[in-house]
Amino acid sequence: MPDICLMGGTFDPIHYGHLVVAEEVRQRFHLDKVVFIPAGKPPHKRNQTISDAQHRVNMTRLATSSNPYFEVSTIEVDRQGFSYTVDTVDQLRRSFQVDKIYFITGADAVLEILTWKDVEKLLSMTNFIAATRPGYDLNNLKETLKSLPDPFIKKILPLEVPALSISSSDIRRRVREGRSFKYLLPESVEKYIYKNNIYKNNIYVSS
Ligand code: NAP
């Protein structure tokens, strides 16, 4: 049975930090596939403007197309209602018929994991890889996890990734301010942002 990894994120926009994390994890854990899942309607971003889901899916497809181990799932974008990770993992685990499944996301998002829907069920189905930027204080994460039962704590693995000093919020700010964001993401995504005039006029609540 294949071992796969799910890469969840808003990807607004996807950038080299995300791609480096995915490739690093794929190699390190000897995985057969990494499935990128642009968040549909993130429950924790109710009051926040995020770009149209189709744009985020298109940018994710462009960014991942050159890697044969990467694919993109629109499962969350296609589903009605809020995108809960537990439902996504459950559905994909069945459809890929996999044994082991990993879920990669940012350590900041994982910090909130105790507020996520059915967290214990989620952690019984998957191992989490919490990707952090350099200099990130892991104590916050360790403190948060303390209230989880022991077997679940072991299922969340922090991973420091130097390339994550790139951030989506910085890229959005650069576009808005008319500054260059070249070399922070694939050229195809850069062109897509310019062509579709994304981020130029939107005022974002910073994430
Ligand atoms: P976020 O709050 O936008 O991101 C938090 C931090 O993590 C940001 O610094 C972000 O950097 C980074 N990040 C996000 N995804 C990453 C990834 N795959 N790899 C490395 N860094 C990443 O978080 P989000 O993107 O909206 O949500 C992350 C995932 O958690 C999504 O799949 C979402 O559906 C899930 N989630 C589920 C629930 C729930 O089930 N109740 C609640 C919250 C989140 P960038 O801004 O540079 O990406």
> Domain locations in the chain?
4-166
Q: How confident is the model at residue 207 (pLDDT cuts 50, 70, 90)?
A: very low
According to the model, what pLDDT value does residue 88 have?
Answer: 95
What tens digit of pLDDT does each residue of 167-190 get? 999 999 999 999 999 999 999 999
Among 5, 6, 7, 10, say which to mutate for ligand 1: greatest number of ligand atoms within 8 Å of CB: 10
Average pLDDT rounded to a whole number, residues 27-49: 89
- Cβ–ligand 1 distance for 43 under 6 Å, the answer yes
Q: Which residue matches tokens 């850069």?
A: 190
Evaluate: CB of 82 within 6 angstroms of ligand 1. Answer: no
- pLDDT at residue 20 is higher than 80: yes
Residue 156 has pLDDT above 50, yes or no: yes
> Does the Cβ of 73 fall within 6 Å of ligand 1?
no
Q: What is the pLDDT of residues 82-99, one digit of tens each?
A: 999 999 999 999 888 886
* pLDDT of 206 above 90: no
Record the pTM: 0.93
CB of residue 84 inside a 6 A radius of ligand 1: yes
What is the per-residue DSSP string for 58-87? HHHHHHHTT-TTEEE--HHHHSSS---HHH
Rounded to the nearest whole angstrom, what is the distance from the C-alpha of residue 77 to the centroid of ligand 1?
Answer: 15
Rounded CA separation 126/163 (Å): 25
Contact 85 CB / ligand 1 (< 6 Å): yes
| Atom number in ligand 1 closest to CA 10 | 25
Question: The domain 4-166: what is its CATH number?
Answer: 3.40.50.620
User: Residue 61 contacts by C-beta under 8 Å, 6 or more apart in sequence?
Assistant: 72
Q: Does the pLDDT at position 2 exceed 80?
A: no
pLDDT at 1: 65
Q: Give the whole-angstrom CA distance, residue 196 versus residue 42.
A: 23
Sheet holding 101-106, edge to edge: 70-72, 33-38, 4-9, 101-106, 127-132, 156-160
